[in-house]
Structure 1
Amino acid sequence: MDTISTTALLVAVISACIAAYTTRGNSARAGFELARTLFTNLTTGDAATARSSLERYKRGTGSDDPDKVLDHYFTLLWQLEQIHAGRQSLIRQQRLNGTRAVVRYLDEMVNWHVIEWANRWLEIRTKLEADRHEQIDDEHALHVFCQLLESIDAGHWRLHDLKAVVAEQKARRVARERAERERVQRQQGTTTPPPTRAGVRGA
């Protein structure tokens, strides 16, 4: 290989390395921006209003309208679900885009908030169900909250109880779906088939 070809190859390799480094750096910056956005969304706007409402409700000094409180309950629960989704996205980019530091940064900002709300979540949930005289259907969102909590504090004292609530809802849902399936099958089995056109002559 001549000197010119060797030089061209070296330049190409260096350029590729610079491009990869730049892409990795841009991905990390985008990751930090995502982490800041998730934290901001958790601590301002609708989520902040929901947090304040739920805390006052827990203390007995908030709204007397449990349906309004339920809206705030799901607002905060869905925001926590978004944090889990964003965190999982960053974790899955670690090897390719170098987002490990971003995940640590996000955890440092949200861990306290997640743990504190896990401490009081079942108390609020139980009070809401009692005041509304109706079970709360939050199986999926609460399951995601459990996943987020477990990824942050696997030994949290409330984690087992939160998971038990999710499991109880899943069992009820499976039972309902089975009963509905059996009802439809019974209905189909007793349906009289339409009469045939046997014996009718063609033109």
Structure 2
Amino acid sequence: MLPSMNSTNTALVSASIAVISACIAAYTTRGNSARAGFELARSLFNNLTSANTAKSRGILERYRRGTGPTDETSDIVLDQYFNLLWQFEQIHAGRQSLNQQHRINGTRPAVRYLDAMTSWHISEWAHRWLEIRTRLEADRGESIDDEHSLDTFNQLLASIHPKHWRLPSLEAVVNAQRLRREEREQRERREWEGQSRRQASTAPLPNRTGTP
């Protein structure tokens, strides 16, 4: 017959079981998170190489080379311009999400996988982008408002570059847009403040005599 366990031994065994269970749960959670990270990385890569995105790449490349059909108007090209730009923006957002949880959830391998699968596409299109953008603005006769998306694209390029190098040509475009936006916001704020002061100065004085 086995000797009975006293309350102290029982407590120690229970605590050990709880610790082991917690470790197993943490390991399982980390493994599930790592798998989810790879699923996200694969999803982002699949979107970048999907038929819809391939259509955007084809239209933009034909436009860059000047070989596109006449029915591919600048409006169509602009739509595809933003479609591809937003694809890169989604990759940056997904990559940032994976990076921020790598210490807890072990998602760094998923980031390396994502970089390996997308870095060529990112680098190639980053070096073509300004040429497409410049031609598109000239053909449309108006500026393209893509400050934030273009800045994110350049951040993505820096994140995959060994020395975190941004493309100076894209950086210059983003900075110029930012400067114009800040100047416009300051001008609008001054106009609003001036209008508020004028309204305050022309407001009727309160009736202090008690007569209508």
TM-score by length of 1: 0.93
Partner of 2:187, secondary structure, is: helix
Residue 80 of structure 1: how far off its partner (Å)? 0.4
Residues 32-111 of structure 1 correspond to what in structure 2 (within 5 A)?
A: 32-63=38-69, 64-111=72-119
Match of 1:18 in 2: 24
Match of 1:201 in 2: 211
Identity level (%)? 59
CA shift in 2, pair 1:154/1:188, >3 Å: farther
Q: Does 1:142 align with 2:184?
A: no
**Runs of 4+ that moved beyond 6 A:** none
CA shift in 2, pair 1:78/1:172, >3 Å: same
Give the unaligned 5+ runs of structure 1.
none
Q: Can you list the C-alpha shifts for 1:2-36, whole angstroms capped at 9, x where unaligned?
A: 33322222211111110000000000000000000
- Distance in 1, Cα, partners of 2:178 & 2:131: 20
Q: Can you list the C-alpha shifts for 1:65-103, whole angstroms capped at 9, x where unaligned?
A: 101100100011111000000000000011000011110
Count of equivalent residues: 202
Q: Does 1:176 align with 2:176?
A: no
Q: Can you list the C-alpha shifts for 1:95-142, whole angstroms capped at 9, x where unaligned?
A: 000011110000000000000001100000000000000000000000
Residue 197 of structure 1: how far off its partner (Å)? 2.9
Calculate the aligned-residue CA RMSD, in Å: 1.8
Match of 2:140 in 1: 132
CA shift in 2, pair 1:23/1:199, >3 Å: same
Partner of 1:2, secondary structure, is: helix
Is the radius of gyration larger for structure 1 or structure 2?
A: 2
| Counterpart among 120, 139, 149 of residue 128 in structure 2 | 120
